[in-house]
Amino acid sequence: MSESTVLNADQGSVVTDAAAKLDVLDQLLKPEVQQAITQLVDQLPRLAEMMTVLTNVYDFAQKVAKDKVLIEDTLGGIQEVVKPLAEKAKGFASAAIEASDRAENSDATIGVFGMMKLLKDPELQKMLRFSQAYLNILGERKNNG
């Protein structure tokens, strides 16, 4: 009894395999499938070349990802660039907050003579030169673009 069950199971497997092969053959007989296969065969040299390049890129990426020294050096380099920028940004932010607090607490009126005195301030002159150069560049780009 158990032998017949094994035989039936084997026959079912054979029938399933045969049906799958017929299905594949039916698919291969379709003109659009044949055309796609022809296009793939025509592109095989290119595909092989692309696979070689992709394999090399993958291998390189794997080596880089596993290289702890390179990763640490890269992170160190990034931190060397970011740290001074962060410190400058913190300095600008704290100066802006402090200036805002001082302006809020001050009741002083700045008149014409106060403005004349401010125009002699080196920091204001530096800012005005920067603003003028920036506006000139924007104007040139607008005229050229």
82-109 pLDDT tens trace: 999 999 999 989 999 999 999 999 888 8
Sole residue written with tokens 């993958």 = 58
Which of the residue ranges 19-23, 94-98, 113-117 would you say has the lowest mean pLDDT? 19-23
23/111: higher pLDDT? 111
Which residues contact residue 40 at a Cβ distance below 8 angstroms, ignoring those fewer than 6 apart?
A: 47
Q: What percent of the chain has pLDDT over 70?
A: 87
Could you give the 3-state DSSP secondary structure of residue 38? helix
